[in-house]
């Protein structure tokens, strides 16, 4: 993979980007959505203004986007949409590049400006909590999880030392592949938990991609992690090569995508005060496997996301360039696949993001240099494809406000 991207960057630094994109100088944080896309071919961050009336995307004139100090991959926004955080990887073709997490401030006109880069050994996945207080980082084959406190300027300060994933009896050295955190802020409207008081504590769920388990950590008020083992094991079993994790916005369920050869989605009930009736003996946020789990998915499922109201789950099938959709049972978390064929993406889908008002979904397509966009039908969750938007070469992630 590193050799491939080195070759890509080496070619692209000699070639000027040969297409013209619409520019927007009318972005307003109060009236427009914002879409952020890191691109590996040019090692820059792009931003787009989203017209909330018709879904039209316009590139924000950002002087070709601020550069990334390494090859960018996944990107996330804080809940307020005021800061973007992107994983960067050191690459020999990029002078003075480094590996870590780069913070960008989002200006009122939608433009980005670099804040700083926090050094991280092997970041592969990141997540921000619903309060915008902490950034969690899975560190791949290093087998650790780091927690960073997010400063008022978007700067990152590591909370203590990285937490090592536990060794599984008879297993291999752990490798963290994906993570997601429970919510302390519930959706204001339309979700099953709207109007209820959200918990003040957080739990972080981390996938170990080589031992095929999902681990549960209690997050302290200062960001410290404490493993919450089940009665007999250190984690709950997943399918082969767990590659994505999503937590229900109402803290009811957790979903894990399992790559080849299982090609499935594992589902778990989060045992809290709301779910004690679902075979949960104690309300300690440990996980119980949902009846019928795992559920069939497409070819090599990876990134996944749940809609903002907890009704639907969407999984990017990276091996078949498509998105599979499921209706979530409110009573037990089981998944029912949408009828009809899965929805096509562009070539090489790498990341998925859903706007918080449940209106639009986006998928970045690494090989196609495009951003797929879909309108979400509220009642059924079905997706209506919109015209794809061109990006710079090799878009590696997407985040939306």
Query: What digits encode the pLDDT tens for the residues 322-341?
Result: 999 999 999 899 999 999 88
Residue 192 lies in a domain: yes
Cα distance between residue 352 and residue 264, in whole Å:
17
DSSP state of 107: P
Query: Domain range holding 183?
Result: 120-262+264-295
Residue 353 lies in a domain: no
Residue 126 lies in a domain: yes
Say if CB 137 and CB 129 are below 8 A apart: no
Residue 236 lies in a domain: yes
Question: Residue 296 is inside which H or E element, if any?
Answer: strand 295-296
Residue 111 lies in a domain: no
| Cβ-based neighbour number of residue 366 at 10 Å | 23
Prediction pTM value: 0.92
What is the reported pLDDT for 123? 98
In a 3-state reduction of DSSP, which class is residue 104? strand
Residue 95 lies in a domain: no
Residue 113 lies in a domain: no
Residue 248 lies in a domain: yes
Spell out a b/e string for 7-35, using b for 16 or more CB atoms within 10 Å of the CB, else e. Answer: ebbeebeeeeeeeebeebeebebeebbbb
Domain CATH for 146? 2.130.10.10
What is the reported pLDDT for 8? 42
* Contacts of residue 275, Cβ cutoff 8 Å, sequence gap at least 6: 252, 269, 283
What is the reported pLDDT for 1? 43
Ranges of residues in the chain with a pLDDT under 70 are 1-25, 63-64, 231-232, 274-279
Domain count, the chain: 1
Say if CB 251 and CB 183 are below 8 A apart: yes
pLDDT digits (tens, 9 = 90+) for 87-132: 999 999 898 999 999 999 999 999 999 999 999 999 999 999 999 9
Pairing relationship of beta strands 253-258 and 287-289 according to DSSP bridges: unpaired
């Amino acid at each position: 993979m590193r050799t491939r991207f080195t070759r890509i960057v080496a070619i692209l630094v000699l070639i000027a980007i040969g297409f013209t994109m619409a520019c927007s100088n009318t972005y307003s944080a109060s009236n427009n959505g914002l879409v952020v896309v890191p691109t590996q071919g040019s090692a820059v961050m792009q931003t787009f203004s989203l017209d909330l009336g018709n879904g039209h995307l316009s590139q924000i004139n950002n002087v070709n986007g601020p550069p990334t100090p390494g090859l960018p991959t996944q990107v996330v926004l804080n809940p307020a949409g005021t800061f973007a955080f992107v994983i960067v990887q050191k690459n020999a073709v990029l002078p003075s590049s480094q590996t870590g997490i780069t913070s960008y401030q989002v200006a009122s006109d939608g433009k980005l400006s670099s804040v700083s880069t926090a050094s991280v050994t092997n970041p592969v996945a990141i997540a921000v909590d619903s309060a915008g207080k902490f950034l969690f980082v899975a560190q791949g084959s290093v087998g650790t999880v780091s927690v960073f406190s997010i400063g008022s300027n978007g700067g990152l300060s590591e909370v203590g030392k990285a937490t090592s994933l536990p060794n599984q009896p008879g297993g291999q050295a752990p490798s963290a592949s994906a993570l997601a955190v429970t919510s302390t802020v519930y959706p204001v409207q339309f979700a099953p938990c709207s109007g209820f008081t959200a918990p003040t504590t957080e739990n972080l769920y981390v996938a170990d991609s080589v031992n095929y388990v999902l681990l549960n950590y209690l997050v302290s008020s200062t960001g410290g992690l404490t493993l919450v083992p089940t009665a007999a094991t250190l984690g709950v079993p997943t399918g082969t090569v767990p590659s994505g994790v999503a937590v229900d916005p109402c803290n009811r369920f957790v979903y894990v995508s399992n790559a080849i050869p299982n090609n499935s989605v594992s589902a778990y009930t989060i045992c809290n005060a709301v779910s004690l009736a679902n075979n949960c003996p104690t309300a300690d946020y440990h996980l119980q496997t949902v009846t019928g789990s795992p559920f069939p998915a497409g070819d090599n499922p990876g990134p996944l996301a749940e809609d903002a109201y907890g009704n639907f789950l969407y999984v990017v099938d990276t091996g078949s360039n498509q998105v599979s959709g499921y209706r979530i049972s409110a009573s037990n978390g089981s998944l029912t696949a949408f009828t009809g064929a899965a929805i096509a993406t562009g070539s090489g889908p790498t990341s998925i993001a859903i706007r918080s008002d449940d209106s639009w979904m986006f998928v970045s397509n690494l090989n196609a240099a495009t951003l797929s966009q879909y309108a979400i039908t509220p009642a059924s969750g079905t997706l209506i494809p919109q015209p794809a938007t061109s990006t710079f070469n090799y878009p590696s992630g997407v985040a939306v406000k």
